[in-house]
Amino acid sequence: MKAVVLAGGRGTRLRPLSLERPKPLVPIHGRAILDWIIDSLPGYFDEVLLACNYMKDEINRYYGGRDVGVEVRVVDEPRPLGTGGAIKNMEPYIDGDFVVFNGDILSSIDVDGLVGYHRSKGGVGAIALWGVENPGRYGIVGLDGDGRINRFVEKPSPDEVFSNLINAGIYVFDQEVFGYMERGRKTSVEREVFPRLVDDLYGYRFDGYWVDIGTPSSYIDAHQILDSDRERSNMIRGSVEGSYLYDGVVVEEDVVVENSVLLEGVELKEGSRVCNSVVGSGSIIMDSVVEGSVVGDGCKVSGVCVCDGVRVWNGVDLSRDGFEVM
């Protein structure tokens, strides 16, 4: 069986973390998002097809010399084709039922359970569903008593909300779905294909966790949800709460870190405070406050307040005297 991962996005909302690494390779607990998805597949999957456009060569190099237990093929998408166009582009490689993952989703879904549910129900496919409190950012679905999807609205306005069940970005299809897409045409599977398949799709609800890693705050959430007992080599003298620290991080005395992610080799000097933020590899923060923001790789932040959604691009030297690109 084949798995398709839609991995062509630019990850603009995660910048600067995604400036020099494709979003599907952004690390979660030291492992690429794609690695987490591949590891969730049952043993009967024989190939993973990665639909790639942006920085596809980086993804190709990453998997070119690694054994991940299943064959990985990078399929070039010469121009962005949307979710539906990217799936249609995979048709020559598919010979039966197949599973599709959005490349920025981490979840506890039982893939074998999803496949089995689809085969027991029939229809063109099944969509994994997740319950949320505020569904307006997502595609919402309605179900009949047999689990058949009878209504689908993508990113509804407040007066259009009729359900808290959202499209979780994980699907299983049979080959009939390709007939609803045109090769080479940019297509949204959520807006153009699913509404045409109402009454021929089923919804599969699951428990556990689900994270859409599209923003810095959800990136932090993913580190908190996914437990890791991996030992790390860090020098911690300050206060660290609710945070994930990669290898080689230094937190000096009188430093406070809360609800944040610090990538490899970050140094936090005395007098600094980092809250609800992400700090990129090798960056140095001294006598500064970083709150609700993202500091890129290889930055130096000294004597300033970086707050309220500020993003410091990779390699910037930021101080009370101004800034420069190093």
CATH number where 57 lies: 3.90.550.10
- pLDDT under 50: residue ranges of the chain: 229, 231, 324-326
Residues 208 and 142 in one domain: yes
Q: What pLDDT is recorded for position 70?
A: 84
Number of domains in the chain: 2
Give the end of a domain, one of 190, 225, 260. Answer: 225
Residue 217 lies in a domain: yes
Co-location of 184 and 81 in the same domain: yes
Length of the chain: 326
What digits encode the pLDDT tens for the residues 244-259?
898 899 999 899 999 9
| Cα 207 off chain centre by | 18
Last residue of a domain, one of 225, 253, 274: 225
Q: Are residues 124 and 79 in the same domain?
A: yes
Q: Which pLDDT belongs to residue 294?
A: 93
Whether 8 is in a domain gets the answer yes
Q: Looking at the structure, do residues 189 and 303 belong to the same domain, yes or no?
A: no
How far apart CA 4 and CA 56 sit, in angstroms, is: 15
pTM of the model: 0.84
How far is Cα 143 from Cα 299, in angstroms, rounded to an integer?
Answer: 49
Contact 1, 43 (CB under 8 A): no
Could you give the CA distance from residue 11 to residue 230 in angstroms, rounded to a whole number? 27
Give me the pLDDT at residue 94, please: 93
Do residue 240 and residue 220 come from a single domain? Answer: no
Domain identity same for 291 and 179: no
pLDDT at 326: 41
**Among candidate residues 29, 213, 178, 10, the one with its CA nearest the CA of residue 107:** 213
Q: Is the peptide bond before 24 cis (omega within 30 degrees of 0)?
A: no
What is the structure's pLDDT at 138?
76
Residue 209 lies in a domain: yes
Number of CB atoms found within 10 A of residue 63's CB: 20
Predicted confidence at residue 59, as pLDDT, reads 84
Of 277, 281, 240, residue with least CA distance to 264: 281
CB 144 within 8 A of CB 157: no
304 assigned to some structural domain: yes
Q: Give dist(CA 269, CA 153) in Å, integer.
A: 49
- Is 230 a domain residue? no
Are residues 179 and 246 part of one domain?
no
Same domain, 220 and 147: yes
- DSSP structure class, residue 79: S
Same domain membership, residue 189 and residue 70: yes
Q: What is the pLDDT of residue 233?
A: 58
Coil, strand, or helix at residue 104?
Answer: coil
Residues 164 and 260 in one domain: no
Domain range for residue 274?
235-325
**Cα 52 from chain centroid (whole Å):** 14
Tokens of 245: 């620290």
- What is the H or E stretch that residue 140 is in? strand 139-143
pLDDT digits (tens, 9 = 90+) for 130-188: 988 887 777 788 888 888 888 888 787 788 888 888 889 999 999 999 988 888 888 88
Q: Residue 314 is part of a domain; what is its CATH number?
A: 2.160.10.10
The verdict on 100 and 247 lying in the same domain is: no
Give the end of a domain, one of 177, 195, 225.
Answer: 225
Q: What are phi and psi of 217, to 5 degrees?
A: -65, -40
> Looking at residue 257, what is its pLDDT?
93
294 φψ region: left (φ > 0), alpha (ψ -120 to 50), beta (else)? beta
Residue 294 belongs to a domain: yes
Whether residue 326 contacts residue 301, with contact meaning beta carbons closer than 8 Å, is answered with: no
Beta-sheet strand order (sheet of 322-325): 235-236, 250-251, 267-268, 284-286, 300-302, 316-319, 322-325
As a whole number of Å, the end-to-end CA separation of the chain is 48
Asked if residue 256 and residue 168 are part of one domain, the reply reads no
